Chains A and B, each alone.
Chain A
Amino acid sequence: MNAPTKTTGPTAPTSDTPVVSPGARRLGLSRGLALRGVVIAAVVLAAGMAVPYIVLDRFYISMLFDGLVLALLALSVGFLARHLGLISLGHTAFYGGAAYLVGISVTQWGWSPLMAALTGLVGGTVLALVMALLVVRSSGMGFLMLTLALGQALYQLSIQRVAIPYTGAFDGLQISFDADATFLGLSVAQMMNGALFWPVVWTALVLSALGLWLVGRSRFGTVLEGIRENEERMRFSGFNTYWPRVLAFTISGAVASVGGVLFALNAAYVSPDVLSFLKAGDALIAAIVGGLGVLLGPILGALLYIVAQSQFNQSGNLYLYTGLALILVLMFLPGGILGSISSIRKRLARRSAKENSP
């Protein structure tokens, strides 16, 4: 019996190539694949630098800028959903926590923007690590509630009377940098200008996406997938299933922190909004609309979300239209926009493979 190899996707080997090559280990990231990813990221990085020269309107560029910041948050939420199958409503804690840390270290301790940025990043990441130690064992609804509780706890903390000298509570925290302070060669005024700060945020976003892609494609990513699929079998196969989840959660929290830091530097103002439930909802909706199952889905979703919000807002019925749009996407594109595109492509490829083989 000589059955032809069934082709399952566009990248599956043709029936001529031997399926088993002795000794071949394809698990994890091959050097060629990693290199291809890096090259693509470099091209995208370079191309994106042109955006401020194309979008000249100040309103639109700052809107896109907000989209990039939201994209970082949505990217971190999407990473957790994709690799651990967990939905977090608490990533605002790392995003907002990092933003507040930037503000506090500038206003209270008089640190330079760069030092403040590093403090925010490290602080947000450490918070994510501590949180991870506590919550990654829970799943589904428990995880959702625990992360929500963390986000809300930090929100409440920020508006306490004792916190007013640090956070300004509902008044928010105006970050007054030194007049001659610079961040990566940018003056304070340049930092607050979306077009001029664009390269920094774009670079951060592309590098974060590349980093998360490399993690997902590595052996570590495969282990995460195994844990998501069947945690018990992983343990009985000799894998530790706790620390990989902690690490993945921490990585995700670090990306959210990057978003928070860049937001604070650009806005020079932090209010409890950055810790709010609505912010967590924004990121989650953006990630779902773009596609949780695809790396770039949350980024596309965030940009669309920001643009759509500014359109919806003109009518004064922002959340009504947001809700309607979300319902439409979930009904007709259940995998999100990018997720649906890739599943349609797979289906077409399978159909054409079936037609080609007798």
Chain B
Amino acid sequence: MTLFQGTGVTVRYGAVKALTDVDITLEPGVVHGVIGPNGAGKSTFIDALSGRTRMTSGTVLLEGEDITNRPVGWRRHHGVSRSFQRTSVFNSMTVRTQLEMVAWRNDEPDLDGLMATLGLEPVLDQVCNEIAYGTQRSVDLAMALIGSPRVVLLDEPCAGLVADESVRMLQHVRDLCKDRGVAALLVEHDVDGVFRTCDRITVLNLGTVLASGEPAEIRANPDVVRAYLGSAA
């Protein structure tokens, strides 16, 4: 059975169609990338799947169970977690306090290991708004990974990071996904990063699926090249 599935995901804001009939399936240990030009509906897609935005129509299934109308807290407890494009941390708390707080709620057996993997040990006792932006992004990611969720929806984890930070972040995502057998959805602006990191890729354009498949197929797809990749590919 498919672990996590979104079918016919449609989001309309009044007359504006942000997403039309988008399908996706996520499998354990597979990093699934979503790319597309600005305004393609990438962030709306992750908001719809995670329950942050109400879908106009469509369903979200977790192991075949319809969770479309479940509140976000319920989803988190049942293994669907997400990170945010705009860093969403607890600014006035220390890194340690906020991670322990989330770990306490989500039964994380190896918080120290997770913090070590993401290189957060040196900043544990610092208040979050006093640490570097790139480190804050790691805290954001750590919070999404606490409690070993089965499905992780990552909304541009590299937004605002410099090139080598970006590379490291995507490496973390891939390693953690493989080690923990997580099904990951990775929405990302950095096209090269996505091709390097993901096992499958879906390309969105104007709120619809332009193409979906292995990185090599996507790179060779004439529609994708014309609409999006251009000469860069």
The answer to whether B143 touches A237, judged by C-beta atoms less than 8 angstroms apart, is yes
CA distance A238 to B71 in the complex (A): 10
CA distance A141 to B125 in the complex (A): 34
The answer to whether A6 touches B126, judged by C-beta atoms less than 8 angstroms apart, is yes
CA distance A236 to B121 in the complex (A): 24
Annotate A1-42 by CB proximity to B: 1 below 8 A, 0 otherwise.
001011010001100000110110111000000000000000
The answer to whether A20 touches B124, judged by C-beta atoms less than 8 angstroms apart, is yes
Residues of B within 8 A of A229 (CB): 90-93
The answer to whether A240 touches B126, judged by C-beta atoms less than 8 angstroms apart, is no
For B113, give the chain A residue with the smallest CB separation.
A22
CA distance A225 to B98 in the complex (A): 10
Residues of B within 8 A of A235 (CB): 71-73
CA distance A233 to B124 in the complex (A): 19
Contact of A239 among B73, B81, B147 (CB under 8 A): B73
The answer to whether B97 touches A27, judged by C-beta atoms less than 8 angstroms apart, is yes
A117 within 8 A of B: no
Contact of B101 among A3, A22, A27, A236 (CB under 8 A): A27
The answer to whether A236 touches B72, judged by C-beta atoms less than 8 angstroms apart, is yes
CA distance A323 to B159 in the complex (A): 47
The answer to whether A237 touches B105, judged by C-beta atoms less than 8 angstroms apart, is yes
The answer to whether B105 touches A238, judged by C-beta atoms less than 8 angstroms apart, is yes
**Min CB gap B114→A, angstroms:** 12
The answer to whether A238 touches B76, judged by C-beta atoms less than 8 angstroms apart, is yes
Residues of A within 8 A of B130 (CB): 8
The answer to whether A226 touches B90, judged by C-beta atoms less than 8 angstroms apart, is yes
CA distance A237 to B97 in the complex (A): 14
CA distance A225 to B128 in the complex (A): 14
**Min CB gap B154→A, angstroms:** 12
State which residues 77-113 of B face A: CB under 8 Å: 77, 81-82, 84, 88-93, 96-98, 100-102, 104-106, 112
* Complex A-B: 18 CB contacts under 8 Å: A8-B125, A8-B126, A12-B125, A13-B125, A19-B121, A19-B125, A20-B121, A222-B93, A222-B97, A229-B90, A232-B88, A235-B72, A236-B82, A236-B88, A237-B105, A237-B143, A238-B73, A239-B105
Using a CB–CB cutoff of 8 Å, the interface residues on chain A facing chain B are: 3, 5-6, 8, 12-13, 19-20, 22-23, 25-27, 219, 222-223, 225-226, 229-230, 232-233, 235-240
Using a CB–CB cutoff of 8 Å, the interface residues on chain B facing chain A are: 50, 52, 71-73, 76-77, 81-82, 84, 88-93, 96-98, 100-102, 104-106, 112, 115, 121-122, 124-127, 130, 143, 146-147
